């Protein structure tokens, strides 16, 4: 991806979380007392106090990264520390989610997305 594409992709991911952070992301610990219609994923806070958004793969591809190469955008975020990677460096991690049974792969965007400047 070219630098302009990366900047536009980062802006789109920021916008999605800003626009839908409360409405489409359930608390990972099950603290929600309300149903989350059209859920995009989950939100959590790490033991270090860092907020993160766990985005389901189909939502990442069809909504969050729409118009971009979803894999390239995820790798760009991971390279900037804005997305978690697994032990092999892939920008998806396995997490246990409520109501999903065994661990599933999700894209984990960190709050660093909001603290870092454009690439």
Tell me the per-residue pLDDT of 28-65, one tens digit each, with 9 for 90 and over: 887 766 788 899 999 999 999 999 999 999 999 999 99
Q: Is the pLDDT of residue 105 over 90?
A: yes
pLDDT of residue 34: 75
DSSP 36-78: -TT--EEEEE-TTS-EEEEE-HHHIIIIITTTS-HHHHHHHHH
Distance (Å, rounded) from C-alpha 77 to C-alpha 119?
Answer: 10
φ and ψ at residue 35, rounded to 5 degrees: -75, 140
pTM above 0.85, yes or no: yes
């Amino acid at each position: 991806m070219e630098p302009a594409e990366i900047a536009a992709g980062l802006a789109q991911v920021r916008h999605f979380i800003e626009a839908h952070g409360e409405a489409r992301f359930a608390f990972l610990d099950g603290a929600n007392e309300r149903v989350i219609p059209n859920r995009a994923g989950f939100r959590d806070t790490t033991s270090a106090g860092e907020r993160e958004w766990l985005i389901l793969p189909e939502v990442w591809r069809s909504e969050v990264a729409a118009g971009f190469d979803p894999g390239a955008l995820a790798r760009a975020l991971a390279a900037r520390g804005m997305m978690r990677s697994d032990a092999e460096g892939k920008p998806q991690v396995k997490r246990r989610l409520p109501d999903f049974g065994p661990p599933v792969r999700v894209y984990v965007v960190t709050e660093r997305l909001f603290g870092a400047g454009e690439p």
